[in-house]
Structure formats: C-alpha cells, structure tokens
C-alpha cells in the first residue's frame, strides 16, 4: 500500500514537473506556424507536456551558433531547412538524435531520418497557374517554357536553386539525370542557355507570398511556387492549380540545440509531433506531406490530392539535391547573380 502511494506521488511529481517545464520551439511562422500550433503545440500542452514558448525566425543559423558557443542556450527545438541540418550537425550545433526516444525509424521517409534531424514535413516547389484565367495549364517544364502556346510572363524565384533543375527538365533531361548533368560544366552551361531563352518573359519573385499574388492579379500566366502557398490561397477562395510533374520536393527538420537544459522535454515534444496522428492533423491544416508514412492512412482523398507525398504527386517529382547544392551552390548562385544582372 505504502509503495503504491509513493508510486502515485512520484508520478504526480513527475507530471507536475513536466507540466511546469517550459520548452522553446522555433519555426518559420506564417501558415506553417499556425498549422504547427494546431497540430503539435496545443495538443502537446493539453496532454500534460511542457508549456511551449513559440519563437519565429528566418533560418538564421548564426543565432544558434552564438548560443552554443556562449553556452547560453535559450532555444530548445528548432525547425531547420535541409542544407542546415548537415551543416549544423558537422559544426556541433545540434544534439545527435537517439531515435529510441522518437519512434520507429522504419515508419519515416528515408530522407527524413538523419543523424541530427528528424523530418517534420515534406514541401515542394512546383509550377502553378490561375484556373480562372487558364482552363488548360502546362503539363511539363517544356510547356512552362513554351511562350507561343502560353503567352505571358512567368514567375520564377530569383536564384539558381530549382531554376537550373527546371531548365534542364524543360530541355528534355529526365528527372533521374538532372544532377548528373548539372555537375558538369556542359550541363550547367545547358541550363543557363535554356534559362536565357525564357529570360525576357520572367518576372522574379523573392518571397513565398508573391507568386500567388502575381497569379491572382494576372501579372504572370504561370509561376514556380511553394505548394503550401497555393493551398493557403485556395483556402481563402482562390482557384489556383498545381502541375506536380517535375516538382522538386524537400524536407524541413526538427533539431535539438546542443547544450539545451531541456533535452528530455525536447525529445518528448519531437516524439509527439512525429506520431501519425499529429502529422495527419498537421497535413489537414496545410498541404505539406507527413514524414511518418503511417499518417497517410489517416487522411482522406481530398487532403491527399494536395500533398507532395501522395503517390500520384510524388511519382514524377525529384528530391532536392542537398549534397549537390552544398558542394556547388555558392559558385552557381554567383554565376546566376551575374547572369540575372546582364
């Protein structure tokens, strides 16, 4: 009897401690932040997990580095983009993950399981058009480039990343061979030559919110865009359409900042946010794909149709080449900047 009373008291004390603990979780805000609040943060707090202090940032790895080096870590769990997972891991900014505290590695997309980061969601850069202005949109990157068939401006992100891959696909390179080509001088030249063909028809964008605005206003006839931005616009009553063929998908990851005093609570939050239930709830609030593949069975056909990870959408897509851009990105971005300024 005494033992069971002591056991209950210990459990209650442990629960009170975890409920009173505070955990700082950092993400990119916007529609993604709102979806995370609904799917991860609020249910986690309700379940008796730690109190979450949400922070928004814009991917500044330097802030994390400064905290770790000063041994004054105030951020616990951070959402980072794919190139930063590897870089931060190599620099010793993130804890190496113990997957026994998160879930079964086999349940997750292979690309979502890394040494220091676990995938939060899958997003995609795709082509889109306004269904009210264009009844039958482009079916391939070759058609995106076809200004005779589809007269008008094209929205494209101002940078080398994604555009060089799209240019090679438009020039007939199969998805599987894009990075093999782009690694060579001839392949890079071919991509820039193809981009030059389209240059007079390009309207550049630099913020994710711009392509849907351009499409709604009729400033461009089609645009490259992050798929979640199209979903958000359509939830507000717009009629924007995505062509998934040749889209480039990528992941964002959770990392635990090295030296956090709240490591246990950080693991509990990540484990909670990685469950099929939480991931399915997230996908219902924004059209980004779950990394836990068991979440797909919990989603209806309407939600699945808008996700980069649904079988129909992923079959003609390519995964963003993290290693390629880590190795050659700086040089190609410099070349792009001088090409764009000409």
For each of the domains in the chain, give its residue range(s) and CATH number, in order of start: 2-122+251-314 (3.40.190.10), 125-248+322-341 (3.40.190.10)
Residue 14's pLDDT is what? Answer: 44
Strands 289-290 and 154-157 turn out to be unpaired
Quick one: average pLDDT of 104-131?
A: 96
What does the pLDDT read at residue 20? 53
Mean pLDDT of the 147-175 span: 97
Distance CA(83)–CA(80), nearest Å, equals 8
What integer pLDDT is reported at residue 15 of this predicted model?
A: 43
**pLDDT, position 35:** 94
Structure tokens at 280: 């399915």
- Mention every residue, 6+ apart, whose C-beta is less than 8 A from residue 309: 109, 122, 249, 289, 290, 296
- φ, ψ of residue 225 to 5 degrees: the values are -165, 155
pTM of the model: 0.83
In this prediction, residue 11 carries a pLDDT of 41
Structure confidence by residue, pLDDT tens digits, 205-251: 998 889 999 999 999 999 999 999 999 899 999 999 999 999 999 99
The confidence score (pLDDT) of residue 207 equals 85
CA proximity to 171, closest of 182, 184, 157: 182
Q: Which pLDDT band holds residue 30 (cuts at 50, 70, 90)?
A: confident
**146-170 average pLDDT score:** 97
Under 8 Å between Cβ of 122 and 109:
yes
Q: Tokens at residue 3, please?
A: 């033992």
* Average pLDDT of the chain, as a whole number: 92
Cβ–Cβ under 8 Å, residues 303 and 282: no
pLDDT per position as a tens digit, 33-67: 999 999 999 999 999 989 999 999 988 899 999 99
Alpha-carbon gap, residue 20 to 301, rounded angstroms: 40
pLDDT in tens, 95-110: 999 999 999 999 999 9
Nearest C-alpha neighbor of 306 from the set 76, 43, 124, 53: 124
Residue 89 has a pLDDT of: 95
Structure tokens at 183: 């690694």
CA Rg value for the chain: 22
pLDDT band at 136 (very low <50, low <70, confident <90, very high): very high
pLDDT of 83 reads: 87
Is residue 256 within 8 Å of residue 94, measured between CB atoms? yes
- Confidence label for 13 from pLDDT (cuts 50, 70 and 90): very low
Tokens of 215: 């499409």
Listed in sequence order, the residues at least 6 apart from 298 whose beta carbon sits closer than 8 Å to its beta carbon are 276, 277, 280
pLDDT value at 9 more than 70: no
Percent of the chain with pLDDT over 70: 94
pLDDT at 268 over 80: yes
- Residue 287: predicted pLDDT: 94
CB atoms inside a 10 Å sphere around CB 262: 20
Q: In the structure, what pLDDT confidence band is assigned to residue 310 with cuts at 50, 70 and 90?
A: confident
Give me the pLDDT at residue 2, please.
39
Does the pLDDT of residue 19 top 50, yes or no?
no
Length of the chain: 342
């Amino acid at each position: 009897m005494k033992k069971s009373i002591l056991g209950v008291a210990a459990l209650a004390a442990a629960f009170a401690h975890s409920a009173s603990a505070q955990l700082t979780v950092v993400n990119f805000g916007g529609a993604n932040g709102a979806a995370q609040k609904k799917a991860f943060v609020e249910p986690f707090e309700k379940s008796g997990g730690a109190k979450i202090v949400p922070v928004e940032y814009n991917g500044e790895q330097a802030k994390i580095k400064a905290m770790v080096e000063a041994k004054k870590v105030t951020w616990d769990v951070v959402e980072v983009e794919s190139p930063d997972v590897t870089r931060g891991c190599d620099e010793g900014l993130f804890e190496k993950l113990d997957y026994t505290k998160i879930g079964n590695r086999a349940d997750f997309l292979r690309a979502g399981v890394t040494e220091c980061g676990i995938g939060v969601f899958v997003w995609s850069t795709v082509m889109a058009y306004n269904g009210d202005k264009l009844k039958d949109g482009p079916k391939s990157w070759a058609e995106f480039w076809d200004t005779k068939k589809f007269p008008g401006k094209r929205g494209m992100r101002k940078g080398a990343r994604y555009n060089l891959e799209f240019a090679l696909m438009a020039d007939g390179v199969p998805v599987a061979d894009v990075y093999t080509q782009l690694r060579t001088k001839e392949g890079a030249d071919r991509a820039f030559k193809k981009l030059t063909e389209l240059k007079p028809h390009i309207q550049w964008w630099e913020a994710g919110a711009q392509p849907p605005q351009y499409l709604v206003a009729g400033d461009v006839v089609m645009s490259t865009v992050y798929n979640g931005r199209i979903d958000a616009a359509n939830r507000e009553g717009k009629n924007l359409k995505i062509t998934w063929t040749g889209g480039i998908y990528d992941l964002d990851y959770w990392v635990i900042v090295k030296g956090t005093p709240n490591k246990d609570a950080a693991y509990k939050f990540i484990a909670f946010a990685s469950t099929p239930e939480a991931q399915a709830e997230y996908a219902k609030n924004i059209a980004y794909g779950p990394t836990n593949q068991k979440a797909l069975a919990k989603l209806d056909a309407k939600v699945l149709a808008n996700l980069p990870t649904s079988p129909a959408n992923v079959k003609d897509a390519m995964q963003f080449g993290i290693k390629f851009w880590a190795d050659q990105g700086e040089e190609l971005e410099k070349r792009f900047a001088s090409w764009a300024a000409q």
